[in-house]
């Protein structure tokens, strides 16, 4: 057995008979299907990367009582230094996919690290539920499994309560017996589910008393009987070639609707049971929500750096880089990247202890979320603005280079002082894939919504800010004078 999980092991684990649909058909083997195979290989490459001898120390650790290394994503930091060590591993992983795999294995690992740190919250809910969570954490972490989650309900009638939606829309408990509970209905939007081993199911949106059938959390293997995974359109499948679509052809993590058709969940995989407030507490009274979104900011720090690198190369390729207004735009973009990095450093350095664990500063994390979900579309827009028509005036596909006549015209028209025509086309196609293609556009939607709509992230910021210290200053000022003038 290798010193830690490898890519080959991961690919093999996905040949498990899961029920995935695309284009009206069931996929016999996701690892071989043209809609998913390259992205699955990119996810497997993460495990191969950490298994390389020179990366073992940076990327992995040995959990107590084990003899096999696992990703540092599963490590529960006890102090600031351990948190930084863990972050460096996560950043290095994100750099392997340029930040384009939002739900890489470290996302759920982070969510569950946070929930495991808050095991006392589960104990208050029930000793059996706490035992289930702790046991599950040991199982998935020691096997370095890839998890995804579905914690949001499908939109239908947003003006109605979740419990009032039409039957079978929102996943709910429909039966229970001594071996477990049965769930029926849907959840969205299982990003990476097709390349994951297990799915964590929960309810993050507020529930009301009376909606107890919807109030559960649990985990299932992706091949659970009755679990139907409805993939969205695959950008990997519609990619023309690696040269034409270097990012979408390899890093399309996919998103899928999950439909639970009377799926049985054993009790040792049930973490929240018929408790509407515990659905909230599992994320917010434990550091779960803080840790999962801290991971998202770590990944984003890599992605925005990549995008700003792209902006710089873009302006070099069309010869605008030295124009003062363009340099000014690049300076602005660079400042945004450093802001994301600074916010990351801030939430780590001003974190706090929860028992023996170190937790990132919650309000700083929510501030970063609020700011970056607005920043991303702005950043994309600015890059497009810097590009003009260069992103569009491109050969239809790599095949145009095969025709000597067309190749000659491409050579004459794709001019750049810093790139050959072929290099310029190669670069501009990568840029379009990232910022303008259907894949690029999905990424804008992802960054705007993966952590909730703006009214949600802003409400977290409102809830967690130290208002007393802010209003206290105002009150202090007001206390220094009155109608009679300054008070002494």
Region from 146-154, 170-178, 234-242, 284-292 binding ligand FAD, contact rule CB under 6 A: 146-154
Give the Cα separation of 385 and 366 in Å (integer).
29
Q: What is the 3-class SS of 116-172, one letter each residue?
A: HHCHHHHHHHCHHHHHHHHHHHHHHHHCCCCEEEECECCCCCCCCCHHHCCCCCECE
Please return the burial class of 481, using the count of CB atoms within 10 Å of its CB with bins 0-12, 13-18 and 19+: exposed
Residue among 161 and 399 whose Cβ is closer to ligand FAD: 161
Give the three-class secondary structure for 475: helix
Q: How far is the CB of 443 from ligand FAD (least distance, A)?
A: 8
C-beta closer to ligand FAD: residue 192 or 315: 192
Is the distance from CB of 192 to CB of 148 less than 8 angstroms?
Answer: yes
Shortest reach from residue 73's CB to ligand FAD, in Å: 16
- Closer residue to ligand FAD, CB minimum distance, 296 or 419: 296
Q: Is 134 exposed, middle or buried (0-12, 13-18, 19+ CB in 10 A)?
A: middle
Q: Please choose, out of 144-152, 314-322, 333-341, 352-360, the segment that lies near ligand FAD by the rule CB under 6 A.
A: 144-152
Chain centroid offset of residue 195 CA: 14
Q: Is 155 in the site for ligand FAD (CB under 6 A)?
A: yes
Does 260 help bind ligand FAD (rule: CB under 6 A)?
no
Distance from the Cα of residue 453 to its chain's centroid: 15
Span of 109-117, 182-190, 380-388, 479-487 interacting with ligand FAD by CB under 6 A: 182-190
DSSP string covering 204-261:
-S---TT-GGG-EEEEEETT-TTEEEEE---HHHH---TTT-TTTTT-----EEEEEE
Q: What phi and psi, each to the nearest 5 degrees, are found at residue 259?
A: -115, 125
In angstroms, rounded to a whole number, what is the distance separating the alpha carbons of residues 487 and 467? 25
Total interface residues for ligand FAD by CB under 6 A: 22
Q: Closest approach of Cβ 195 to ligand FAD, in Å?
A: 12
Q: Which is nearer to ligand FAD, 119 or 188 (CB)?
A: 188
Polymer length in residues for the chain: 488
Using rule CB under 6 A, residue 149 touches ligand FAD: yes
Q: Which residue has the tokens 């001898």?
A: 53
Q: Smallest distance from the beta carbon of 256 to ligand FAD, in angstroms?
A: 9
Q: Given the complex with ligand FAD, which of 13 and 191 has the nearer CB atom? A: 191
Interface pick for ligand FAD out of 31, 191, 315, 457 (rule CB under 6 A):
191
- The answer to the question of residue 188 lying near ligand FAD (CB under 6 A) is yes
Q: Which is nearer to ligand FAD, 236 or 348 (CB)?
A: 236
We find the least distance from the C-beta atom of residue 201 to ligand FAD, in angstroms, to be 9
Is the Cβ of residue 94 or residue 318 nearer to ligand FAD in the bound state?
94
Q: Please, what is the minimum distance in Å from the beta carbon of residue 283 to ligand FAD?
A: 11
How far apart CA 109 and CA 115 sit, in angstroms, is: 10
150 touching ligand FAD, by CB under 6 A: yes
Q: Is position 151 an interface residue for ligand FAD (rule: CB under 6 A)?
A: yes
Are residues 439 and 433 in contact, defined by beta-carbon separation less than 8 angstroms?
Answer: yes
Residue 289 touching ligand FAD (CB under 6 A): no
Gap between the Cα atoms of 104 and 93, Å rounded: 9
Interface positions, 102-141, toward ligand FAD (CB under 6 A): 103
Calpha distance 192→354 (Å, rounded): 31
Q: Give the residue from 301, 278, 258 showing the smallest Cα distance to 115.
A: 278
SS (H, E, C) 352-412: EEECCEEECCHHHHHHHHHHHHHHHHHHHHHHHHHHHHHHCCCCCCHHHHHCHHHHHHHHH
Check residue 255 for interaction with ligand FAD (CB under 6 A): yes
Q: How far is the CB of 146 from ligand FAD (least distance, A)?
A: 13
Select 108 or 278, whichever has its Cβ closest to ligand FAD.
Answer: 108
- Tell which one of 45, 119, 152, 334 touches ligand FAD (CB under 6 A): 152
Judging by DSSP bridges, how do beta strands 147-150 and 198-201 pair with one another? parallel
Which positions from 442 through 471 interact with ligand FAD, judged by CB under 6 A? Answer: 442, 445-446, 449-450, 452-455
Q: Which segment (108-116, 347-355, 357-365, 438-446) binds ligand FAD by CB under 6 A?
A: 438-446
Tokens found for residue 112 = 């569950």
Contact positions toward ligand FAD, by CB under 6 A? 103, 148-152, 155, 158, 188-191, 255, 442, 445-446, 449-450, 452-455
């Amino acid at each position: 057995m290798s010193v830690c999980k490898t890519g080959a092991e991961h690919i093999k684990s996905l040949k498990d008979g899961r029920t995935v649909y695309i284009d009206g058909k069931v996929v016999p083997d996701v690892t071989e299907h043209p809609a998913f195979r390259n992205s699955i290989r990119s996810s497997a490459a993460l495990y191969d990367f950490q298994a390389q001898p020179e990366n073992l120390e940076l990327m992995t650790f040995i959990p107590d009582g084990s003899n096999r290394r696992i990703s540092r994503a599963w490590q529960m930091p006890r102090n600031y230094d351990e948190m930084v060590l863990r972050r460096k591993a996560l950043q290095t992983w994100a750099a392997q996919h340029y930040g384009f795999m939002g739900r890489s294995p470290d996302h759920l690992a982070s969510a569950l690290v946070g929930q495991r740190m808050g095991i006392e919250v589960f104990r208050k809910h029930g000793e059996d539920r706490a035992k289930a969570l702790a046991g599950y954490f040991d199982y998935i972490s020691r096997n370095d499994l890839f998890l995804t989650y579905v914690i949001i309900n499908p939109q239908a009638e947003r003006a109605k309560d979740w419990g009032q939606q039409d039957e079978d829309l929102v996943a709910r408990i429909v039966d229970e017996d001594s071996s477990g509970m049965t769930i029926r209905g849907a959840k969205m939007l299982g990003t990476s589910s097709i390349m994951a081993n297990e799915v964590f199911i929960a309810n993050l949106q507020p529930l009301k008393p009376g909606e107890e059938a919807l109030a559960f959390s649990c985990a299932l293997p992706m091949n659970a009987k009755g679990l139907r995974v409805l993939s969205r359109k695959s950008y990997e499948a519609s990619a023309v070639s690696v040269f034409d679509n270097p990012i979408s052809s390899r890093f399309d993590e996919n998103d899928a609707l999950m439909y639970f058709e009377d799926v049985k969940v054993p009790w040792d995989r049930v973490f929240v049971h018929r408790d509407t407030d515990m659905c909230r507490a599992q994320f917010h009274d434990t550091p779960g929500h803080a840790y999962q979104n801290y991971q998202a900011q770590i990944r984003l720090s890599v992605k925005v750096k990549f995008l700003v690198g792209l902006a710089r190369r873009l302006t070099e390729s069309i010869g605008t880089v030295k124009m003062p207004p363009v340099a000014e735009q690049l300076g602005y973009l660079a400042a945004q990247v450093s802001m994301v990095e600074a916010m990351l450093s801030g939430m780590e350095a001003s974190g706090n202890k929860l028992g023996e664990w170190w937790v990132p500063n919650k309000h700083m994390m929510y501030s970063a979320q609020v700011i970056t979900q607005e920043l991303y579309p702005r950043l994309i827009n600015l890059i497009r603005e810097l590009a003009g028509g260069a992103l569009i005036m491109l050969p239809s596909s790599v095949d145009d280079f095969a025709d000597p006549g067309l190749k000659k015209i491409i050579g004459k028209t794709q001019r750049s002082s810093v790139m050959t025509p072929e290099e310029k086309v190669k670069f501009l196609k990568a840029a379009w894939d990232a910022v303008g293609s259907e894949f690029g556009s999905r990424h804008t939607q992802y960054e705007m919504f993966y952590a909730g709509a703006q009214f949600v992230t802003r409400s977290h910021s409102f809830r967690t800010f130290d208002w007393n210290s802010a209003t206290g200053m105002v009150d202090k000022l007001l206390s220094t004078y009155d109608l009679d003038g300054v008070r002494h």
